[in-house]
């Protein structure tokens, strides 16, 4: 399951530093001037999953394969991006290819790093970004609506659905609200997605703080958290500078560095997990001597849909799924004893997979 999260923000808020830390590379050029990132840099990152290590140890798996998410480092947006300012049109198109947006807000003061608006105000920064995305959506829909109206009046059922959804989106956009506030029925989700609205993408607010505020945040990140709560979104506090330093250390050095800072884990782990959760995702596991692997599915997926993530033939020919809850697998030290204890269940086509299920599929 290919999943992409756009890292979006004004220039010099720490997006590329964050991206470098996420991908453990220096692929994105982090420099103190706007538009140092011209092409979107893309990197796959593993979803932190301690349960996978536990399962692999029990099964003696030779290889561990975690779930992955792709992050895309989008060049800094500026005021007027919706009208093409600062290469805005190109950057906005890159966001449309993603499944969610991580809005990075600068919550640190550093006189050596310029701010494109010449002030430190994360809420104003977020307002600028959101406004530009809303203006881009408005322009896109208003260009389409006339042609869609003509088709709808001619009796085109698909156009009638599209027109209804366009009007549903235009109402909040014209009132200065993002399209994600619209509640869409399940049967309309595909057509809604086809509108490719920037502000309909799930959003996560990322407060990039100074090193001394990495554990609890600061007054600026508190403002961002309040804004996230008002928007019914999640927020996470990180120090991109700390995490970029952690990224080049070996595990033992990382542990020592984190302990010295009073941190339980890198901020990036929280960011990745929040992004995973934001997209309504969860993991199930397959475990054996060859490999222990996490597979990404949507919350609410049934056993055949979960099987289809491995191979489409598994879903088409699904017979049943041998399933063990993670806790039972660990407590009973593996599949054999779980089977003996009656904790291995044979689940059919209607079974809704739970996060952490250890599964083996039988298919025709």
Which structure tokens are listed for 327?
A: 């806790």
How far from each other are the two terminal CA atoms of the chain, in whole angstroms?
23
Relative to beta strand 63-65, strand 291-298 is parallel
CB 284 within 8 A of CB 296: no
Which structure tokens are listed for 81?
A: 């991006």
State the binding site.
12-17
State the binding site for ATP.
12-17
- Greatest pairwise CA separation for the chain in angstroms: 69
How far is residue 289's CA from residue 59's CA, in Å, rounded to a whole number? 6
How far is residue 294's CA from residue 282's CA, in Å, rounded to a whole number? 9
> What DSSP element (H or E) covers 306?
helix 303-310
Residue in the block written with tokens 């001619």: 154
How far is residue 277's CA from residue 319's CA, in Å, rounded to a whole number? 29
**Rg value, the chain, Cα:** 23
Residue among 112, 149, 122 nearest 31 (CA):
112
How far is residue 14's CA from residue 218's CA, in Å, rounded to a whole number? 17
Which structure tokens are listed for 150?
A: 């003509």
CB 69 within 8 A of CB 272: yes
Question: Assign residue 165 a region: left if phi > 0, alpha if psi is -120 to 50, beta otherwise?
Answer: alpha
Burial of 55 (0-12, 13-18, 19+ CB in 10 A): buried
How far is residue 156's CA from residue 175's CA, in Å, rounded to a whole number? 29
CB 277 within 8 A of CB 49: no
Burial of 122 (0-12, 13-18, 19+ CB in 10 A): buried
């Amino acid at each position: 399951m290919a999943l992409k999260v756009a890292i979006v923000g004004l220039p010099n808020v720490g997006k590329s530093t964050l991206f470098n830390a996420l991908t453990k590379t220096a692929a994105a050029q982090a420099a103190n001037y706007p538009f140092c990132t011209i092409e979107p840099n893309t990197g796959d990152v593993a979803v932190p999953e301690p349960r996978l290590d536990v399962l692999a140890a029990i099964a003696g798996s030779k290889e561990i394969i975690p779930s992955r998410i792709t992050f895309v480092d989008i060049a800094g947006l500026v005021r007027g991006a919706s009208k093409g300012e600062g290469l805005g049109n190109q950057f906005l198109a890159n966001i449309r290819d993603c499944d969610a947006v991580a809005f990075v807000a600068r919550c640190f003061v550093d006189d050596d790093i310029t701010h494109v608006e010449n002030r430190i105000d994360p809420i104003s920064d977020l307002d600028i970004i959101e406004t530009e995305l809303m203006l881009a959506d408005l322009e896109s829909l208003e260009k389409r609506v006339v042609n869609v109206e003509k088709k709808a009046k001619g009796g085109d059922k698909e156009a009638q659905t599209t027109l209804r959804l366009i009007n549903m989106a235009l109402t909040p956009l014209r009132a200065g609200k993002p399209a994600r506030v619209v509640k869409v029925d399940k049967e309309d989700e595909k057509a809604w997605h086809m509108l490719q609205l920037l502000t309909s993408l799930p959003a996560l607010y990322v407060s990039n703080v100074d090193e001394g505020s990495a554990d609890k945040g600061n007054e600026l990140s508190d403002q961002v958290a309040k804004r996230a709560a008002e928007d019914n979104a999640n927020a996470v506090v990180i120090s991109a500078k700390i995490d970029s330093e952690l990224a080049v250390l070996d595990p033992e050095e990382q542990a020592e560095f984190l302990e010295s800072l009073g941190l339980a884990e890198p901020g990036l782990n929280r960011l990745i997990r929040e992004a995973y959760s934001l997209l309504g995702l969860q993991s199930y596991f397959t475990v054996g001597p060859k490999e222990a692997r996490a597979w990404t599915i949507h919350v609410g997926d049934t056993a055949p849909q979960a099987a289809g993530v491995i191979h489409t033939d598994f879903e088409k020919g699904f017979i049943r799924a041998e399933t063990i809850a993670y806790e039972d697998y660990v407590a009973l030290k593996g599949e054999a004893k779980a089977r003996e204890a009656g904790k291995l269940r044979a689940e059919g086509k209607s079974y809704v997979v739970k996060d952490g299920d250890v599964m083996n599929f039988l298919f025709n």
